[in-house]
Structure 1
Amino acid sequence: MKHFVVAAAAPALLIAGGVALAPATFAQAPSATPGSVDASRVTAGSYALDPSHTLVEWQVDHFGFNDYFGLFGNITGTLTMDPADIAGAEFEVFVPIAEITVASEGLKEHLLRSGKDGGSPDFFGPEPGLAKFTSTSVRQSGDTTAVVSGMLEMNGNSGPVTMLVEFNGAGTNPFSKKETVGFHARATIDRTDWGIDYGQGLIGNEVDLFISAAFEKQ
């Protein structure tokens, strides 16, 4: 399944009467990007996810016509790492399934509603537990990449997941003043392995995941 990520950046200038005006909020922003792909900026220690700036996007085939997207946010978790020992890194991530975000409110109700006539819910049900990913191994595969394996607990089931992780930047957050390290990761799972089998043959079993994560040093 092809995965396309589109990023839209807000314009740095507003044009008014032919004059370029810099918005006040941007005028107060730092002149240089705080984070950069520089491993020497990463220090050993314990980190916690920034839930306001960490997202998991999921993508699944819909009827063979196109792909549908959704998001999970308010994600929490921890990371313990030493840049001198990448293989020893460990992390644990918790995803609140109930806070799923989709474009259609009707679809959100469908994802989280109870089963019909007392049956099992089509997808997660109205009060789903947290999805939990716990790393079991980290293998550096390049200067800025690693292969991370672990166990995903979701919907009352547990199974292995392997992610391709890329180091995206490190530095000091200009607002929180905390050392921050960011990663992007990709994985593909078969939703039926976690008991989510509604609409097989109509909705794809394979779900592509794209994770954008920011960890702050504690």
Structure 2
Amino acid sequence: MRWIQAFAVYVSVSLLVACATPTTDPERLPAGSWQLDPAHASVVWEVQHFGLSWYVGRFDTVDASLEFDPARPDAAQLTAIIDPHSISTGDTAFDRELAEDWFRADAHPQIRFVSQRIEITGETEGRAYGTLYMKGQASEAVMDITFNGGLFNPLEGRNAMGFSARMEVDRRSHGIGSLPETILGHTVRIRIEAEFLEGGEAE
């Protein structure tokens, strides 16, 4: 009797592992609307400080939606929204200063990226060309994206897919901070990790 129970456990674990093997073939994933899983997403930024190091922070409140057609991955449409009030550096007082004075978050409560077109550059790589809206100003932006794959997530009971992305923003384009480049670099590097769930966000 024990061997039957052990075999059943083995089969269950094997099926779970099989379900948890991502595919990078977009045609094996369903078309439709996908929503960011905020529990499995991060937006980290870094900017040079006196040319000595990269000062690192993050945004803690992020949302995004993705319209996806496996037959035409280059036609995907991405909208990402960040709450500038959620900026986090580990220094609460400085976080408040950044949100209120640098980002004017009360007057401009959203940072948005809206893709205009997608360029497929490799088997799992692409670029999203779009518009970045921040502090009341718009600028062209390019996001380099790596598709990490998709699978049926048995913990959520639905399909999921994941991406890693990088982009650079010139803070002067949006009037973020007035410090000279000798103190604070003009280029802000942004690193994004994101998982999307089919049809809606995690409960």
TM-score exceeds 0.5 = yes
1:124 to 80, 83, 103: 103
Partners of 2:92 and 2:150 lie apart in 1 by 36
Match of 1:171 in 2: 151
Q: Does 1:151 align with 2:138?
A: no
TM-score by length of 1: 0.77
Distance 1:97 1:141, change over 3 A: same
2:184 to 196, 203, 208: 203
1:47-100 deviations in Å (ceiling 9; x for gaps): 111122111110100111211111113311211111211221111111111111
User: In 2, are the aligned partners of 1:197 and 1:205 still within 8 Å (CA)?
Assistant: no
Partners of 1:62 and 1:37 lie apart in 2 by 40
User: In 2, are the aligned partners of 1:135 and 1:150 still within 8 Å (CA)?
Assistant: yes
Partners of 1:92 and 1:194 lie apart in 2 by 19
Match of 1:36 in 2: 22
Partners of 1:209 and 1:152 lie apart in 2 by 13
For residue 83 of structure 1, what is the amino acid of its counterpart? P
**SS class of match (1:133):** strand
More helix by share: 2
More strand by share: 2
Q: Which segments of 5 or more consecutive residues in structure 2 lack a partner in the other structure?
A: 1-12
Partners of 1:132 and 1:101 lie apart in 2 by 18
Q: 1 or 2 for the larger relative contact order (CA 8 Å, sep ≥6)? A: 2
1:107 to 84, 94, 103: 94
CA RMSD of aligned residues (A): 1.9
Q: Does 1:162 align with 2:142?
A: yes
1:42 to partner: Cα distance = 1.9
Partners of 1:41 and 1:133 lie apart in 2 by 27
User: In 2, are the aligned partners of 1:51 and 1:73 still within 8 Å (CA)?
Assistant: no
User: In 1, are the aligned partners of 2:164 and 2:194 still within 8 Å (CA)?
Assistant: yes
For residue 124 of structure 1, what is the amino acid of its counterpart? F
- The alignment-based identity, stated in percent, is 29
TM-score by length of 2: 0.83
Paired residues, what number?
A: 182
1:126 to partner: Cα distance = 5.4
Match of 2:193 in 1: 212
Q: Which segments of 5 or more consecutive residues in structure 1 lack a partner in the other structure?
A: 1-26, 114-120
1:76 to 34, 51, 63: 63
Partners of 1:150 and 1:189 lie apart in 2 by 13
1:187 to partner: Cα distance = 0.7
1:139-189 deviations in Å (ceiling 9; x for gaps): 111110111100010111111100110001211222211210100011111
For residue 200 of structure 1, what is the amino acid of its counterpart? P
Match of 1:6 in 2: none
Partners of 2:169 and 2:70 lie apart in 1 by 29
Partners of 1:174 and 1:87 lie apart in 2 by 28
User: In 2, are the aligned partners of 1:57 and 1:71 still within 8 Å (CA)?
Assistant: yes
Moved over 6 A (4+): none
**SS class of match (1:53):** strand
1:35 to partner: Cα distance = 4.6
For residue 103 of structure 2, what is the amino acid of its counterpart? F
Partners of 1:126 and 1:78 lie apart in 2 by 22
Partners of 2:52 and 2:113 lie apart in 1 by 31
